[in-house]
Amino acid sequence: MSGDFNIVGRSVVRQDAYAKVTGQAKFADDYKFPGMLFGVMVRTDVSHALIHSIDYSGLLDYPEVTVCDINDIRGSRKVGVVTADQPVFCYEKIVTPGDVICMLVGADESQLKLLTAKVKTELEELPLITDPEKALDPDATFIHPDKKSNLIVHYPLRKGDVEKGFHESKHVIEQKYTTPLIEHAYLEPEAVTAVPIEGRGGVRIIGSIQNPHTTRRIVAEVLNFPLTKVRVVQAELGGAFGGKDDLMNIISARAAIAAIKTRRPVKVRYTREESVVESYKRHPYIMKYKVGFNDDGIIKAMKIDILADGGAYASMSPFVTWRTVVQATGPYEIENVHTDVRAVYTNNPYTGAMRGFGSPQPIFAQESLMDEIAEIIGVSPYEIRKINGVKPGSITASGHKLRDHDVNLLSVLERAERETNFTERHKECSRSANTKFQTSQKFRGSGFILKKDEMLDNRDIIKKGIGLAVSLRGCSLGAEGIDAAAAYLSVQKDGSAYLISGLAENGQGLRTTFSIIAAEVLGISPEHIYYLEQDTGIIADSGPTVASRSTIMGGSAVKNAAEIIKKRFEEMLLTYWNIKSKDQLLFKNNRVYEQSRSISFSELCSLAYSKGLNMSAIGWFKGPSVHWDEEKGQGAAYFTYVYGCQVAEVSANLLTGEIFVDRIVAVHDPGKIINLMGAKGQVFGGVTQGAGYALWEGITTYNGNIRENNFDQILIPTSKDIGEIESIFLEGEDIYGAWGAKSLGEPTLELTAAAIANAVKNATGLRYFNLPLNPEEILLSRKLSPNDLSRGSTN
């Protein structure tokens, strides 16, 4: 089959490349409208308080300024993708520093920013909850009093009898791991313009929006409009990584309120600082693992207790933590599992969807743990994963039997091991991992002067290490929600075609991928496909562009649309050429062949047009049904899975604690690759962001306030910070997805931090339990940030 492709699997240049390299691509803040006003947010300087009153009298001298607040909302005052707990404008309480009480609207944005100080509030401060471990204390103040609990969600998972499993185990170890709050740091800050449509037609919204249909729903709820009166158009999106969902919905609603009120276009654009303070982040996790195993390496039982800091609002916490409970044991077949995952409300910045979506955290824990198990029973990290890893027919922690696709976990693992000569090098590095470093560590900071033979030789300063991590990842939404997608393809009489899908381009290259799929089916070049601008008015709701689901879901819908049209062409040709079977028809190289004769695709379209053939179709793909038992945490959680293995090679500087990632080898089975160029781009991106997660990134808070509010303090990787990245694809077959094309975006990120942590252990001989592994953690075995003092690595 694979040999028969014309375009699929090759490298195809991005469709939007020309617009992007010339600066012509229009991002949200590049749109201007006549008479446009600006909206500027007013926030308070507290993290948790009751609002007694808001006083606008300071603005009386500025008649040109309009105020929008809770009183301008005709529909829902609180919104949320899962739970409606986030007010568009706060009116009862402030629960986190990003909270907005009102918006000033006027022509002069810089004037409005000064005027925010004139809005006075009377607040009554409440006790803060910033430690998620105290959120469920009996005396804890409720962040949202109407919920009568700070628990956002609790997912149990029970398989077998974990106590019996521990009883049968020779070794039982317990560890605690933590991960930090992470900012998406999409380079384009939030921006949106709402334009009133004449004749009470509603409102048109153009913005940096990840999920236009979700935004439409939220805005319509807030305005109390029918869905059709809110048209959401996606501007070119300057990165999202999961981050332009909830907040963009709310900002869009605020802009829409102002546009309706002033009858003028209203633009809201955030500075970087505003973006950091108000946007949601990746969840910090506190993870306690207890594992029982025997000398043969077989894991008998695993008990997992995970607490996620959901921050002030639920956002995507219920979905993020659900993926965690399904995948918390990693890609291992374990007889007895007992998992509890909880997300709680605190006054910290709220957390939601971010690339990885509840998987990078448990992977860091469980893959660190696997290496420890290997060390205890004296086998290599590769071996321990081979012993416990899932194989075809294995049953996951949630009781799901893996079948209908290539269960390629061991294949990617073996390939990565072979590619890097892992086992041998791991042994080599761990032999030289250095008692000296540990000795010097012991004395560091305790006032001892090192003896001469305890001092480090220059040659000993840089230590090499190698580590690996593996994962299985459920594709698309799974039992989280309705899983279906639409695509519209309209072939024109000259052979060119319009294409659009309900899933949105987030910068990942979706338009190019989908064009390739349609072009492959019709046997034409992808350049003949014109991808339409994303507009909720012209394409059906296809759910959000999240969970690495675009290629598998949207791709299948595009393929379906193209096949519908192809079938119509074939039927027409049966009559036209007077042939009996369409088996001989071949759509290739912009022509259709039948034995010795052929017709160009454009002539075919012109012919079809003259015969009144319907050359437009809406394709649809609905994911196979999945199932979840909420009480036991059992079920076929996802309809299919992908597998990956990454190996990290690092250099650790023992004097400064600096870690340099020399090389990452990423072996992934994403199913069939559609665009090789785009696929490689996903690997570079995911791995680099994963390295940032491992080594530098991390937002810290003080009483809920974020300390790092711009890129001078939020350290995201630059081109100099990472070495070579090598991507290897093992394309497994699957009955789902277009030709078996599945997911890649998130698997590339989720493994890297765990692989690097294992490599650092291999180099330094010390294991670290908290991310990021920054120099102070590595050198001092503790974090220096004040609120992290309690944390710190053991050993």
The tokens for 168 are 């049968």
Answer yes or no: are the C-beta atoms of 180 and 283 closer than 8 Å: no
Residue whose CB is less far from other proteins, 544 or 681:
681
Give me the residue label for tokens 């929008």: 68
Q: Which is nearer to other proteins, 155 or 186 (CB)?
A: 186
CA distances from 628 to 82, 339, 403, 432, 481 (A): 17, 15, 18, 48, 11
Token digits for 651?
């250099």
Within 41-70, the residues that bind other proteins by CB under 8 A are 50-57, 59-60, 62-67, 69-70
The only residue of 552, 687, 741, 773 in contact with other proteins, by rule CB under 8 A: 687
Segment 12 to 41, residues that bind other proteins, using CB under 8 A = 13-14, 16-27, 29-30, 32, 35, 37
Q: Closest distance between other proteins and the C-beta of residue 390, in Å?
A: 30
Cβ–Cβ < 8 Å for 640, 405 = yes
Rounded to whole angstroms, the Cα distance separating 185 from 276 reads 8
533 counts as binding other proteins under rule CB under 8 A: no
Options 114, 187, 197, 789; binder of other proteins; rule CB under 8 A:
187
CB contact at 8 A, 751 and 727: no
CB of 760 to other proteins, least distance (A): 21
Comparing CA positions, the residue from 292, 324, 323, 290 lying closest to residue 307 is 324
Residues in region 270-329 near other proteins by CB under 8 A: 271-272
**C-beta of 186 vs 350, nearer to other proteins:** 186
Of residues 230-249, which lie at the interface with other proteins (CB under 8 A)? Answer: 236-239, 241
* Per-residue x/- track, 468-507, other proteins (CB under 8 A): --------------------------------------xx
Binding mask 127-166 for other proteins (x = CB under 8 A): ----------------------------------------
Residues 500-519 touching other proteins, rule: CB under 8 A, are 506-509
Please say whether the beta carbons of 488 and 561 come within 8 A: yes
Q: Which residue has the tokens 């072009």?
A: 519
C-alpha to C-alpha distance for 216 and 15, rounded to whole angstroms: 26
> Which of 249, 268, 253, 259 lies closest to 201 in space, CA to CA?
259
Position of tokens 């020309």?
18
Give 27 or 576: the residue with its C-beta nearer to other proteins: 27
Minimal distance, residue 498 CB to other proteins, in Å: 22
Counting contacts by CB under 8 A, is residue 711 touching other proteins?
A: yes
| Residue among 236 and 777 whose Cβ is closer to other proteins | 236
Does the protein bind other proteins through residue 192 (CB under 8 A)?
no
Give the residue among 388, 211, 222 at the shortest CA–CA distance from 296.
388
Q: Which is nearer to other proteins, 522 or 755 (CB)?
A: 755
User: Considering the rule CB under 8 A, would residue 746 count as an interface residue with other proteins?
Assistant: no
We find the least distance from the C-beta atom of residue 634 to other proteins, in angstroms, to be: 38
Q: What's the rounded Cα separation, in Å, for the pair 522 and 515?
A: 11
Token pair in block for residue 513: 């991928």
Chain center to CA of 445: 40
In this structure, how many other beta carbons lie within 10 angstroms of the beta carbon of residue 59?
A: 16
Q: Which of residues 78-97 bind other proteins (CB under 8 A)?
A: 91-92
Q: Does 114 bind other proteins (CB under 8 A)?
A: no
Least Cβ distance, residue 16 to other proteins (angstroms): 7
Draw the binding track, 395-434, toward other proteins (x: CB under 8 A; -: no contact): ----------------------------------------
| Shortest distance in whole angstroms from residue 189 CB to other proteins | 7
Classify residue 40 by burial, with Cβ atoms within 10 Å: 0-12, 13-18, 19+.
buried
Of the candidates 394, 379, 368, which has an alpha carbon nearest to the alpha carbon of residue 291?
Answer: 368
Interaction of residue 117 with other proteins, rule CB under 8 A: no
Pick 69 or 746: Cβ nearer other proteins: 69
Strands 100-106 and 66-68: antiparallel
> Is there binding between residue 717 and other proteins (CB under 8 A)?
yes
Does 689 interact with other proteins (rule: CB under 8 A)?
yes
Partners of 67 in the β-ladder: 104
Of 595 and 710, nearer to other proteins (C-beta) is 710
| Rounded least distance, CB 281 to other proteins, Å | 14
Binding other proteins (rule: CB under 8 A), the pick from 2, 10, 11, 444 is 11
74 near other proteins, judged by CB under 8 A = yes
Nearer to other proteins, 633 or 685 (CB): 685
CA distance linking residue 675 with residue 738, whole number of Å: 13
CB 301 within 8 A of CB 291: yes
Q: Half-sphere exposure (CA, 13 Å, Cβ side) for 94? A: 30
Specify the residue, 198 or 296, whose C-beta has the smaller distance to other proteins: 198
Number of residues that bind other proteins (CB under 8 A): 84
56 vs 620, beta carbon nearer other proteins: 56
Site string for other proteins, 637-676 (x = CB under 8 A): ----------------------------------------
Report which DSSP code applies to 150: S
Q: What angle do CA 212, 213, 218 make, to 5 degrees?
A: 100
Closest CB to other proteins among 401 and 707? 707
Write the CB contacts of 237 (distance below 8 Å, at least 6 apart in sequence). 27, 188, 208, 209, 210, 244, 504, 505, 506, 507
* Rg of the chain (C-alpha set): 28
Measured at the CA of 167, the angle between CA 162 and CA 169, to 5 degrees, comes to 95
Choose which of 376, 461, 579, 716 interacts with other proteins (CB under 8 A): 716
Q: Smallest gap, in angstroms, from Cβ of residue 105 to other proteins?
A: 9
Tell me whether strands 230-234 and 202-207 are parallel, antiparallel or unpaired: parallel
